[in-house]
């Protein structure tokens, strides 16, 4: 049985997993929505900034929890959930 391996070519670059960067940014500076922008969720990033300003940072617990969730998922599960299926919240 022959298995095929995806090779890197000019028109088929390897997929980038942003799990570590998004998770650490969510934990450290999540109140300003940086982790949302890293994952490509511009609208949700702006919403996160507005919620942080309105609540004077109290809702900063939400990105902290998101960061922990990001870091505890397996690489494949994170990639499938947040980068392929584009699930913006939790």
Label residue 12 by pLDDT band (50, 70, 90): very low
Across residues 63-75, what is the average pLDDT? 93
Across residues 51-65, what is the average pLDDT? 89
How many separate helices (H) and strands (E) can be counted in the chain? 5, 0
Q: Residue 17: helix, strand or coil by DSSP?
A: coil
Each domain of the chain, given as residue ranges in start order, spans: 23-84
**What is the rounded distance in angstroms from the CA atom of residue 4 to the CA atom of residue 21?**
30
Structure confidence at residue 5 (pLDDT): 54
Task: Look at the pTM and tell me if it is higher than 0.95.
Answer: no
* pLDDT > 80? residue 25: yes
């Amino acid at each position: 049985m022959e298995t095929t391996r995806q090779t890197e070519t000019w028109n088929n670059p390897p997929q980038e997993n942003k799990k570590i960067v998004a998770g650490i940014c969510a934990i450290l500076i999540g109140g300003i929505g940086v982790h949302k922008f890293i994952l490509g969720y511009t609208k949700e990033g702006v919403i996160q900034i507005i919620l942080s300003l309105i609540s004077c940072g109290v809702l900063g617990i939400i990105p902290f929890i998101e960061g922990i969730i990001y870091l505890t998922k397996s690489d494949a599960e994170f990639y499938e959930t947040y980068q392929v299926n584009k699930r913006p919240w939790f």
